Amino acid sequence: FMSLNSTALSHPPYFLLIGIPGLEKEQFWIAFPFCIVYVIALLGNITLLLIIKAETRLHEPMYLFLAMLSFTDLVLSTSTLPKMLGIFWLGSREIGFVSCLAQLFFIHTFSSVESGVLTAMALDRYVAICRPLRHASILSVPVVVAIGSLVLARGVLLVSPACFLLHRMPFCQRRVISHSYCEHMAVVKLVCGDTRVSAIYGLFVAFFLVGSDVILISLSYTLILQVVMGLPSTEARHKAFSTCVSHVCIILVFYVPALFTFLTHRIGRSIPHPVHILVANLYLLLPPMLNPIVYGLRTKKLKDRVV
């Protein structure tokens, strides 16, 4: 058994983040679209939060969940992009050991929060369409706040052990992380010793979070579909479907790259490493940019307020 002191001594003072392996020369130019995406994400989500806060008529479940999504997107993009731009533009590749674990914690915690909020939004759509008369009583403001708190607590409680496990492990002399940010499996690969517990725990958390959320979202939409198809008029069906389109678009934007990133880390050996890293970056950048645009354009109350 290794003492805490010797474990602490075996931590490297810093790691080196490569950025996008194989595209080091192109990184300078790749940073420009990344920066534009980040600025749009910041402006869009801050605007959305300010509108929802200012308009009391928007203090209803759908918009409160949307505010949670915007806050989550701000944390996700800000925990990765400033450092990423530092790597691409300034060659600032060093990241301290504790800073790396902190970044890892925020990225994985708030990715899980995003997944949880999308699930809560599916529940909101189910209640709004299948139990319209009881919508206000079932999803009251205290209930919405409680759901948001549970989603955040779930992320913190599940991701924290992964960080503690890494903190207690000895690291080899290798300090280079072949990534643009401190991603869990990328850091685990630098551990000197048995990493099975960390790898298995990471898999468990990913399957538990995404699995349970995807099942709940699928169940919600199956029930919604049954109710909508039973509506008498085509107009009523169209109106019910149109309230779900924004949410379905956001779900696809979030889960498709997430699934790609997760699978390529474990089974996608044939996929070029630069492609994997680029998709992993876009997974943390595209949803924060697109969420406010999709909801802003498709939600009448928000569009009216913006225009």
Task: Write the pLDDT tens digit of every residue in 65-121.
Answer: 999 999 999 999 999 999 999 999 988 889 999 999 999 999 999 999 999 999 999
Rounded to the nearest integer, the mean pLDDT of the chain is 85
Query: Is the confidence at residue 150, as pLDDT, over 70?
Result: yes
| pLDDT top residue among 93 and 232 | 93
Give domain 14-297's CATH superfamily. Rhodopsin 7-helix transmembrane proteins (1.20.1070.10)
Which residues are paired to 15 by β-bridges? 95
SS3 track for 237-267: HHHHHHHHHHHHHHHHHHHHHHHHHHHHHHC
Neighbouring residues of 221: CB distance < 8 A, sequence distance ≥ 6: 122, 125, 126, 244, 248
Higher model confidence: residue 89 or residue 232? 89
pLDDT at site 2:
43
Token readout for 104 is 């890892």
Residue with the bigger pLDDT between 254 and 270: it is 254
| pLDDT over threshold 80, residue 236 | no
Q: Stretch 12-25: mean pLDDT, rounded?
A: 85
pLDDT computed for residue 7 by the predictor? 45
Q: Tell me the pLDDT tens digit for each residue of 27-36.
A: 889 899 999 9
Burial annotation 27-65 (CB, 10 A radius, 16+ → b, else e): beebbeebbebbebbbebbebbbebbeeeeebebbbbbb
Q: What is the mean pLDDT of residues 228-237?
A: 79
pLDDT(158) > 90: yes
Q: What is the mean pLDDT of residues 225-229?
A: 85
Confidence (pLDDT) at 162 = 92
What is the pLDDT at residue 145?
94
Q: Highest mean pLDDT range out of 107-121, 218-232, 238-252?
A: 107-121
194 band by pLDDT with thresholds 50, 70 and 90? confident
Please say whether the beta carbons of 33 and 247 come within 8 A.
no
pLDDT of residue 79: 93
Bridge partners of 191, per DSSP, are 171
- Residue 207 clears pLDDT 50, i.e. is over it: yes
305 or 284, which is more confident? 284
The reported pLDDT for the residue numbered 146 is 96
Query: pTM of the entire structure?
Result: 0.88
pLDDT reported for residue 71: 95
Q: What is the pLDDT of residue 76?
A: 93
The β-bridge relationship of strands 176-177 and 94-96 is unpaired
Q: Which of 156-170, 204-218, 260-274 has the lowest mean pLDDT?
A: 260-274
Local confidence band at 6 (pLDDT 50, 70, 90 cut-offs): very low
Sign of CA dihedral 273, 268, 34, 99: negative
Q: What is the pLDDT of residue 108?
A: 93
Segment 270-299 mean pLDDT: 81
